[in-house]
Chains A and B, each alone.
Chain A
């Protein structure tokens, strides 16, 4: 290697970046002695502005730089990135997938009415005037929340549509079905005694043929769904916590790996927020990618379930199909992923970044 002196003789080294600085500062000094110091301060500020970003632009530029460079560093360690994001993806996909299934069950059962219902089959010879009288009479009863009237014609139409006996029914000369009053109870889970009293009262009404208590199993199903929802909430909470720990630990390892870089940056005058920025963005990227993986897992799973569910619902003569992830749910999953990723890294950064100080 040639010595530095030789090199300077061969090629004049530009001192521009230092000599210029000196000239400027001496200019500023003489200006200071001549005019008020306020003016030279304004000059300084103008000079600084021309080479340095304004506070906001600098902030923005720093953020963009951190965002892109963080993605770059994740890309450079594909294996660990993949492992972390996959674990996050699975942890997110589990509760989200359960949520989708539960939504489907709820959708299925919501085509039936909620809660305990009583069907009042009216006698065939009841006139419409009598029916409306009965309706107003029942509406004043405090246990009853809602009454739906299905006329004989309506009932026949519904039965024809849903039963699949279309052809057979056309052979009938007259409608064999009675009119029905479907009564929903105000209390979704009534006690045995309450129901018995009500049934007694209803079946003794003059225009009522039979009163039938039905759909109690639906109330039970709704009860089970509520338990499942609560359980899902707990599972989601625990897995969310797991994501925080996973991201936090990954970020902790990254911080340890980049210990030297952090030390040097601190010595060069980096602020805490500058140093933590790439780690926070790292967490956000993990969360984002994990969220996308979770979305993909659910999408594929639902796709795999679609065909068997369709076959089953055909057997029940139903046109039920699985509800997939809507745009809203998809965005929510990814946003939750991003939030958990950010939070996990934030906690980790808070804990570990201050421990690293130049020695």
Chain B
């Protein structure tokens, strides 16, 4: 699903975001992306979502090479990627329902289909009863789950999350991670960037550790607290 082939990213400022990164994430696989802030986690996700372009090497998503994609091709590519943001980036002037419906509206779904899918998606994250609420009236954890509902409402084959638990307490964080694991179980490829190693170690999933723009380990995350000392 995702393949990085000797990818480097150097910012105009000279800062090296990624340095010769190669990995392959198969269809339906789930992986954590760990590392300190500035290690290159966000850069890596941005390359997949074509927010940034690699300066060397190629990025493939679903078999397609992203490096040379044209501006007008980007929307179509992004529609196949669900993205969950750290700050949930919900639109505060619209109800939960309309926030979650946005990807479907953009893709031109029928009215009834939008209602059906939004409710299914909200049901999945356990917020069906809050569909008419405004995002700011929800708790942080609930807001994050609305963000997840929005990311999956379009049934994308790939789900990216950038620090999805950044603002949550440990218990809520675990709930959110379990939710991602459930998406993996139904065939979605999931890539989660997080700095919360103790949380990661509770799940037996693949874990790519980044440091200074390089992948320093690629192991199963289960109970590997010592990565932290790296």
Contact = CB atoms under 8 A, between A and B. Distances in A.
Contact of A269 (B89, B91, B106): B106
A61 B121 contact: no
Given A53-B110, A270-B106, A17 B155 contact: yes
A65 B117 CA distance: 19
B124 A15 contact: yes
Interface string A157-184: 0000000000000000000000000000
Contacts of A65: 105
A200 to B, nearest CB: 78
The interface centre, meaning the residue of B75, B78, B107, B141 with most chain A CB atoms within 10 A of its CB, is: B75
A217 interface: no
Contact of A3 (B49, B175, B187): B175
Contact of A4 (B51, B102, B126): B126
Contacts of B75: 266, 269-271, 274
Interface string A120-149: 000000000000000000000000000000
A260 B152 contact: no
A51 B78 contact: no
Nearest to A4: B175
A231 interface: no
Interface string B63-88: 00000000010111111110100000
B49 A13 contact: no
Contacts of B108: 52-53, 58-59, 61-62
A357 B109 CA distance: 25
Contacts of A265: 102, 106
B199 interface: no
Contacts of A53: 108-110
B102 A5 contact: no
Interface in A225-276: 260-261, 263-272, 274
Interface in B100-139: 102-103, 105-111, 113, 117, 120-121, 123-124, 126, 139
Interface in A257-297: 260-261, 263-272, 274
Bin chain B's interface residue count: 35 or more
B183 interface: yes
A270 B154 CA distance: 13
Interface stretch (A18-26, A37-45, A84-92): A18-26
A25 B186 CA distance: 11
Contacts of B77: 269
Bin chain A's interface residue count: 35 or more
A264 B188 contact: no
Contacts of B80: 269
Given A4-B126, A19-B186, A264-B91, A269 B107 contact: yes
A1 B106 CA distance: 33
A65 B105 CA distance: 9
Contacts of A274: 75, 106
A5 B108 CA distance: 34
A33 interface: no
A267 B85 CA distance: 11
Given A52-B110, A53-B108, A17 B78 contact: no
A52 B91 contact: no
26 contacts: A1-B142, A4-B179, A13-B123, A13-B124, A13-B126, A16-B120, A18-B186, A18-B187, A21-B155, A52-B109, A52-B113, A53-B110, A260-B89, A263-B89, A267-B78, A267-B83, A268-B78, A268-B106, A268-B154, A269-B81, A269-B103, A269-B106, A269-B107, A274-B75, A357-B51, A358-B51
